[in-house]
Chains A and B, each alone.
Chain A
């Protein structure tokens, strides 16, 4: 079965291209703009596709910034939006599985890890994730609350029952450094079963 997966920003403008990315993922979280740091205890204001050490800008992806347990600041908005009201295109990531045959999926999950083992928590940073499911103006059906994700403590994603040759997941992410200094021991991992 020819099966492929690709990762984009939620708006599908910029892709995380394997050739750019070294050993692990290339999603970088920054302060006011590319290269700007995030203060300890605060959250990301921007998100970019970047290299392993965050020095090259490969394009911006949508930003979600933690506002409270069930809400986020979308892009540069100053008023928080409920997670259930965030559009797919406003999510941090779009992960797309393509198969020859129409497939349904189960047991999909998303992890943040230290780039050594998917069982290990990322180092020096707290990551929160939420599944975003809001393809149209109707109120969404994804996660109501942020989940702290760290290694084996993952973010379960909903099963996709109707078979399709393209299945897509949208994930919102927000991070906060636990200490001063650049944090590169952070990668992301996705898995799903399909038939």
Chain B
């Protein structure tokens, strides 16, 4: 599965960045006509029995950093619209004990945090490394 291991022309300024248990760093890229970067990362983590160890989001000149070494990490987009007004948020969070703590962040700088049930795959990427299999 193809993932961006460096900043290329397909990697935008606003992006999530994931550090993996094998030492690699993966950047969100924008490849048209294929699965989104998060889904490709989920497949890559499974294929290689890895874990996301650190997760962060750069958006609107800010950086959101999540706690490291969690059971899982969540990314999803959220569109809100009244027809005449619309806003896209990036929802980034982590999972522990079946609950997800998610930060909804938009490029205009606004954000708020919610705690919801773990949305599950493909929104959540769970750790697939030894730490998980050993319980």
Contacts and interface: CB of A to CB of B under 8 A. Distances in A.
A101 B31 contact: yes
Contacts of A190: 79-83
| Residue among B78, B84, B119 with the highest chain A CB neighbour number at 10 A | B84
B119 A25 contact: no
A104 B76 CA distance: 10
How big is chain A's contact interface, by range?
35 or more
Interface stretch (A16-24, A38-46, A75-83): A16-24
B88 A18 contact: no
Interface in A2-40: 2-5, 7, 16, 18, 20-27
A76 B14 CA distance: 49
Given A192-B78, A193-B76, A193-B91, A18 B83 contact: yes
B30 interface: yes
Interface of A: 1-5, 7, 16, 18, 20-27, 95, 97, 99-104, 106, 163, 187-195
7 contacts: A1-B30, A23-B85, A103-B77, A188-B82, A190-B81, A190-B83, A195-B77
